[in-house]
Chains A and B, each alone.
Chain A
């Protein structure tokens, strides 16, 4: 009996080890696939043009061969012209703009989403479900379709005046059209609907207002979902490209994504200085990595809850 038990235990252990080996091998391969682009970015940022062009590709560089000047060159000052005295790649200006736009867009989206989700989940008014169905139906329209109408709108508001656009105009143009999200409204409404009606009625009996109930009960209960929305929206705002390029008239109003795209292409030959481009991409990625490590629990939870990637 004891022998059978020992045999079974051994078999179980062997299976477990095999299963672990397979699992971790698979995870290792996937991790490698995810990490290779990052490694390649750092590696390229440390290569000269000739090293980048080399065939077969150089997969590893000794520290003594690192071309640190790719990074140094980014902070070299422009000698003349409207941007004289500023760095070649205005990293801090772009980062500042990106952070401001991300914060404003995310704050705006979160507020409108919470209010709309509350209205659709909790308040009873005539035509609620019909209005909600109409709003959900707009998700069928691709975002690109809205570019022209949004552009006409911001132009009518005077935020896209080629001659006189100010930074505030540019900020309004970049953020206002993206302060609502149908998907997040739907997502939060579903969470709100899971909160038992009894809580609402009890609060009503205690004489609380709808707004107070939202603030004191619903938001705290749905906080994980709201954090998810904040994270996903920030990630979306951070990587926005087409709209910011479209509605800003001056280089100094643009976001880091726009800067990375255009600053390193030689206008004559059309070739890109990948070394410098990757160096700046590495610089742009660094703060994101810090944010990720600080908030990794929330981000992982958020991504797994929503089932989508930003």
Chain B
């Protein structure tokens, strides 16, 4: 008995003492810039750039084979500021990166700057570790480069940043936090687009036109105006086989439109339906009639095979079944474009339509003009709501930590500015498949070497697809023309550009005392739709279950 008592007391003591471990508080260093918040011209204060030796620790997750361009940009930056060394370190994956920073915050061991998703930064802000970039963005300081070994010797460098040039949706995502301050800047951004089997469409051009949908002779839909959900339903009556199998002879598939990410589907459709989802304060708002109506509509679309999820095929993505001809269209990340293109390296017997033509379109919308009343019908049920335009924006941002010294913060900021100049963000986009974060990047004339024999500017890169579309796919490029290799990437870049003005972000918040964090809510949103698709739950019970999982 005595031993048991001692054991229990010991356990208690261990827990209590663990709880008493004093966490180091983060230190706040003085910002070295003065800021202005007003509009209009401001007088600049010119100062010499600090010449103290500074090392900036930059944490990201890029694997060894994927940092060539980042390394090049780091080299160039270090040549501009010879007193600065940037240590670029991969922390292998986002979960490890976030966990290491969260643990490190308690003991004051954080990098100078890091990549992260909005919910990561929301957590860092809550812990008091993230640094407000407003201190730099609205600064009126100019630094003169006084080091004669610098590649920009004698130049004046502005600390401030012209936000107007950035894609508005990206900015909104990065200043959604408390006080509307910027705690991060957009860096590697992507969105979703819709791949479509053009070979199938081309064989139904007459029927599609008869149904009142514009389509070219070669099966191209508009690349500037998205298809609406009611048009998608109409296409379903034309392109879908009467059973869930592919009818090769009549160019019909078993399922119409796949959504790779069920989480994105729930969140983006909520925005399109003006259905409350969450907000940056961490409130879970899904228990409302519009969301219920939306889920009932999605369920109806699942039932008649208009919508499908990859779980149907036991897959994580719909790209394989799209290539196999089981699905006519698929919505997925711009970063995974090439997975949707059938090629000679596929197992040919699996490709029911052989190597078919693929086109890319904007993701379907409820309406082509935001704020309009929309009525969708499925069977005898009508669904009424106010339609909005929305497409997913995703991908990590980049921010600075308070713990860094004033000079470390300054040079980290200048490095962020350098990474996101119009030229560099265009380079990054062409090199990695991400999207430029600045609008002016779309007109950038900087040349990048894509292969040893093929170089192009971003403008000309975009032109590859627009030339192809203008010629209705009837281009006279030689088989060896390297534009063929970049055609689909160029298509996706154009589509992303065309829907850039209605990118919407997913409100970010860490887990709180009454609800889960935004990342968990997103995962549960995905499960909600999968439960409906799998018929394990009705739309009502799936929503209740979802709410129960995230709202405590």
Contact = CB atoms under 8 A, between A and B. Distances in A.
Contact of A250 (B21, B89, B335): B89
A148 B19 CA distance: 10
Contacts of A308: none
A151 B93 contact: no
Contact of A251 (B90, B99, B100): B90
Interface in A241-299: 245-246, 249-251, 254, 258, 261-271
B63 A163 contact: no
Contacts of B188: 267-268
Contacts of A162: 57, 104, 109-111
B335 A130 contact: no
Contacts of A78: 64-65
A129 to B, nearest CB: 7
A44 interface: no
Contacts, number: 147
A55 B67 contact: no
A238 interface: no
Contacts of B314: 55
A33 interface: no
Interface stretch (B6-14, B172-180, B380-388): B6-14
A80 B321 contact: no
Interface string A59-89: 0000000000000000000111111001011
Contact of A268 (B6, B103, B190, B343): B190
Interface string B54-74: 010100011111111011100
A149 interface: yes
B251 interface: no
A138 B11 CA distance: 7
A81 B67 contact: yes
A6 interface: no
B494 interface: no
A160 to B, nearest CB: 6
A54 interface: yes
Contact of A267 (B61, B107, B317, B319): B61
Contacts of A1: none
Contacts of A251: 64, 89-90, 92
Interface residues of B, number: 62
A263 B103 contact: no
Contacts of B109: 155, 160-162
B345 A48 contact: yes
Nearest to A164: B55
A263 B93 CA distance: 9
Nearest to A250: B89
Contacts of A134: 6-7, 10
B211 to A, nearest CB: 32
B320 interface: yes
Contacts of A89: 64
Task: Output the residue of A48, A51, A152, A250 with the most chain B CB within 10 A.
Answer: A152
A89 B109 CA distance: 28
Given A148-B21, A250-B89, A79 B11 contact: no
Nearest to B342: A50
Interface in A76-131: 78-83, 86, 88-90, 129-130
A9 interface: no
B1 to A, nearest CB: 12
Contacts of B320: 53-55
Interface string A148-176: 11011001000011110000000000000
B57 A55 contact: no
A50 B89 CA distance: 32
Contacts of A34: none
Interface string B239-274: 000000000000000000000000000000000000
B3 A268 contact: no
Interface string B340-354: 000101110010000
B168 interface: no
A114 to B, nearest CB: 24
Contacts of B103: 147-148, 151, 246
Given A133-B7, A134-B10, A163-B57, A264 B63 contact: yes
Contacts of B70: 81
A265 to B, nearest CB: 7
Nearest to B68: A80
A151 B104 CA distance: 9
Nearest to A138: B14
A261 B321 contact: no
Given A88-B64, A268-B335, A246 B100 contact: yes
A50 to B, nearest CB: 5
B71 A145 contact: no
B18 A149 contact: yes
B335 A133 contact: no
Given A134-B6, A152-B107, A267-B63, A258 B333 contact: no
A140 interface: yes
Contacts of B8: 137
A58 B346 CA distance: 12
Contacts of B107: 151-152, 155, 160
A50 B336 contact: no
Contacts of A271: 317, 336, 339
A136 interface: yes
Interface in B282-334: 313-315, 317, 319-321, 324, 333
A268 B6 CA distance: 54
Contacts of A90: 64
B313 A262 contact: no
A141 interface: yes
Nearest to B17: A149
A151 B106 CA distance: 10
A58 B61 contact: no
A136 B7 CA distance: 8
A82 B88 contact: yes
A129 B21 CA distance: 28
Contact of B18 (A145, A249, A254, A265): A145
Nearest to B115: A267
The 4 closest A-B pairs by CB, nearest first: A262-B92, A268-B335, A81-B71, A269-B336
Given A50-B346, A148-B106, A268-B333, 10 more contacts: A81-B70, A81-B71, A130-B3, A133-B7, A148-B21, A149-B21, A152-B21, A246-B103, A262-B96, A269-B339
29 contacts: A54-B320, A55-B315, A79-B68, A80-B71, A81-B64, A81-B67, A81-B88, A83-B64, A86-B64, A88-B64, A90-B64, A133-B6, A134-B7, A137-B8, A138-B11, A141-B11, A141-B14, A145-B18, A148-B106, A152-B21, A152-B106, A155-B107, A162-B57, A162-B111, A251-B90, A263-B63, A267-B62, A267-B188, A269-B339
